[in-house]
Amino acid sequence: MNRKSKLIYLIIILTLNFSCFEKKSTENEVISQEWVNTSQTDILKFTSGIRAIFQDSKGNYWFGSHNEGVCKYDGNTFKYFTTNDGLQDNQIRSIQEDKNGIIWIATARGVNGYNEGKFTSYATQFNAPKFDWNTTTGNLWFYAGEEEGISRFDGINLNYLVFPKPENIDPYNSFGVTGISIDKEERVWIATYSALFSYDGEIVDVYEHEKLNLEDNEQIHIRSVLADSKGRIWIGNNGIGVILKSGDFTIHFSKEQGKLIPMKEFRSNIQNGQTNKNTGLQSVFAIEEDNEGNIWFADRDSGVWKYNGESLTNFTIDEGQKSQIIWDIYLDKNKTLLFGMEDGGVYKFNGKSFDKRF
């Protein structure tokens, strides 16, 4: 065989090898194509909204989108992952990291663990619901779809824990999880559309109208929760603003600050497409605490609010943006506040105003 024939033969063999090559995976494990065909860009290209922001222990930023998957930024390039790479769903609900450095991504249809370029998929065990929360362990908690419980990972399984039903509750109310926060005593606070739940490792408590000191005409629609460094619990609602729980006392924070407009006017503005007239602290979708102890609120209609312990200050992110809606606020390891926008951009607070960060 001459040299030319050998070269042709080698090309044919290599071609056959690549065409027959198949990655193997277990039933619960999906191998990501991160180092093969994952798209890379030098800009954050999401346009469907940023639902989650997270910075891992290595300094990488992770961005979860509304329906375009997740993006990892290593300081130089943005790498994108979707269902084609092993994600359970392209709608991202939360991102966190465990003590072993595994990145956990909660989607609308299950959870993925990401480690060394590989995705592992976990489906919530809805067919084996657990009513006794104390039969499970683990400190990783996840959204479990529009169901009546929450997912808890015990190291092997994604257990489905059912919420205890509040008394006299409307059977049509939704208990889909909208936020999770863990306080300094390791108590887990879980926001749902229709009630707030807390779990101290032994008892699940339910907070609804009576415990939150709400009036009969004030409808719960919780969208966010934050356990701050002082042990206070901030509860953001869509329509009735912020409820503050501090020790044994619960107050209607937005009302006390004079930042609620009459509900009839509030709803009329929404129906007429005049949400810019809703200038109060009334529809709070995200809450975060900065390194100085200030509390930040993202209101759907009126922008960003900062509470310094005495007064509230209102900010607009970017006058040039078509949408001012903020879906997430995150304090990174550099003590910089990042704001995830409905249009897919990420802004940072520079101490006085906001700059486009990603």
pLDDT tens by residue, 253-286: 999 999 998 878 888 888 888 777 778 999 999 9
What does the alpha-carbon distance between residue 298 and residue 288 come to, in Å, rounded to a whole number?
Answer: 9
Confidence of residue 36 (pLDDT cuts 50, 70, 90): very low
Q: Which of the residue ranges 9-23, 102-116, 133-147, 195-209 would you say has the lowest mean pLDDT?
A: 9-23
Query: Residue range 28-44: average pLDDT?
Result: 50
> Which two structure tokens, joined as six digits, stand for 136?
């499970």
* Residues 6 or more apart whose Cβ sits within 8 Å of residue 292: none
Q: Is 41 left (phi over 0), alpha (psi -120 to 50) or beta?
A: beta
What stretch of H or E contains 50? strand 50-55
> What CATH number has the domain spanning 107-356?
2.130.10.10
pLDDT tens for each residue of 168-189: 777 778 899 999 999 999 999 9
Among 65, 73, 71, smallest CA distance to 90 is for 65
Q: Are strands 118-122 and 204-207 parallel, antiparallel or unpaired?
A: unpaired
More confident residue, 219 or 335: 335
Q: Worst-scoring range by mean pLDDT, 2-16, 57-71, 229-243, 267-281?
A: 2-16
Judged by average pLDDT, the poorest of 29-43, 157-171, 202-216, 268-282 is 29-43
What pLDDT band is residue 79 in, cutting at 50, 70 and 90?
very high
